[in-house]
Amino acid sequence: MLLDLLLPGKDGIHVLEELLQGGFTGKVIMISQVDDEAMMEKAYERGIMFYISKPLNAIEVISVISNVAKLVSLQKSMETIQGALMGIQEAPPVSKGMLGDRFQKICTDIGIWGMKGIDELKTIVFTVMEFQKKEKSYQIKEVYEKVAGEMYGEEQLQLNKKALEQRIRRIMQKALDNIAQMGAEDYYDPIFADYANLLFDFGQVRIKMRNLKDQSVEPGRISSKKFIEGFLLRMTAQ
- 94-105 pLDDT per residue, tens: 778 899 999 999
- Given a contact cutoff of 8 angstroms between Cβ atoms, the answer to whether 212 and 181 are in contact is yes
H/E run at residue 208: helix 202-213
148: Cβ contacts below 8 Å, ≥ 6 apart:
157, 160, 161, 164
The CATH code for residues 1-88 is 3.40.50.2300
Gap between the terminal Cα atoms of the chain: 26
- 123-179 pLDDT per residue, tens: 999 999 998 888 778 889 999 999 999 999 988 899 999 999 999 999 999 999 999
Residue 90 has pLDDT above 60, yes or no: no
| pLDDT for 34 | 66
The percentage of residues in the chain with a pLDDT greater than 90, rounded to a whole number, is 39
Residue 213 has pLDDT above 50, yes or no: yes
| pLDDT for 180 | 94
User: What are the residue ranges spanned by the domains of the chain?
Assistant: 1-88, 91-238
| pLDDT for 82 | 61
- 64-83 pLDDT per residue, tens: 787 777 767 766 766 666 66
